[in-house]
Amino acid sequence: MRLHDKVALITGASSGMGRATAETFSREGATVVIADIADEDGALVVDGIRTAGGQARYLHLDVTDESSWTAAIEVILAEFGRLDILVNNAGISGTFDPDLTSTRFFDQLMQVNAKGVFLGIKHGAAAMARSGGGSIVNLSSISASIGQLGVHLGYGASKAAVKSMTTTAAVHYADAGIRVNAVAPGMLPAMRTSRGSADPVWRAKQIDGVPMKRAGEVREVADTVLFLASEEASYITGVEILVDGGLTAV
């Protein structure tokens, strides 16, 4: 098992790629903490993992709220004594608001997608340093590096912030034995908050531009997060792995 005895906190794990990552980590022997604001769905993920014989618990964690982070880390250290892995996965889509230049939505994107990751790194790394090191994996996006029609200006900016914080944090926390990396998905199943990007016509056009001519599966992202979180990536820090079927290679 690649994560035997590890304690992992995964934000936004009530659905999508966070959920798939939690289930993958559990199969690899980790104790997983599912953290989200979607409490009912989070409880279902925990039930599923426990039924399959794994160890999991749910925590309500709003990634934009610093006191929520402090409380979550306290619970994890009190209950499990350590934190080895943090996956900063929670996020909102850049197509939730049809007004692609909405200032209010820009602020919201920055709060959840950028500040949420900043707070995670800050509080997660402090806990990991106490446990002798660890691994942080952030979910960025191809939107950090390319422009996409129909996506709010702030989405790519928030994901570029994630990409940048990944490299800076990798340098900052290397001494503490903490690796920090990012996974940048391309066309994956639509997010809960996707509106424009959930439109079949928009998706078909995007997928047409993917050399592999298909969307990715959440499992394919979860497996990449697993690799970066595991000891197999012990000399890898500060990188972003694209999981995009070649979309940005064109």
Q: In this structure, how many other beta carbons lie within 10 angstroms of the beta carbon of residue 197?
A: 21
Binding site for ligand NAD (CB under 6 A): 11-12, 14-18, 36-38, 61-64, 89-92, 112, 116, 139, 141, 185, 187-189, 191-193
Between 83 and 187, CB nearer to ligand NAD = 187
- Asked if 155 is an active-site residue, the reply is yes
Using CB atoms, what's the residue nearest to ligand NAD?
Answer: 16
Q: Shortest distance, CB of residue 35 to ligand NAD, whole angstroms?
A: 7
Which amino acid is it at 94?
G
Q: Which is nearer to ligand NAD, 108 or 230 (CB)?
A: 108
CB of 223 to ligand NAD, least distance (A): 14
Shortest Cβ 75–ligand NAD spacing (Å): 15
User: Closest separation between CB of residue 231 and ligand NAD, Å?
Assistant: 24
Nearer to ligand NAD by Cβ, of 17 and 86: the residue is 17
Which CB atom, from 5 or from 39, has the smaller least distance to ligand NAD? 39
Catalytic option among 58, 155, 173, 235: 155
Starting at the edge strand found earlier in the chain, the sheet holding 7-11 runs 55-60, 31-36, 7-11, 85-88, 134-139, 178-185, 240-243
Which residues are within 8 A (CB) of 204 and not within 5 positions of it... i.e. 6 or more apart?
none
The 3-state secondary structure of 148-190 reads CCCCCHHHHHHHHHHHHHHHHHHHHHHHHCEEEEEEEECCCCC
88 — phi, psi (to 5°)?
-85, 85
Nearer to ligand NAD, 92 or 170 (CB): 92
Distance CA 156, CA 172 (A): 24
Helices (H), the chain: 16-27, 39-51, 66-80, 103-109, 116-130, 153-173, 200-208, 218-229
Q: How far apart are CA 160 and CA 149, in angstroms?
A: 17
Q: 28-53 burial by CB neighbour count: b if 16+ within 10 A, else e? A: bebbbbbbbbbeebbebbbeebeeee
Residues with a catalytic annotation lie at 155
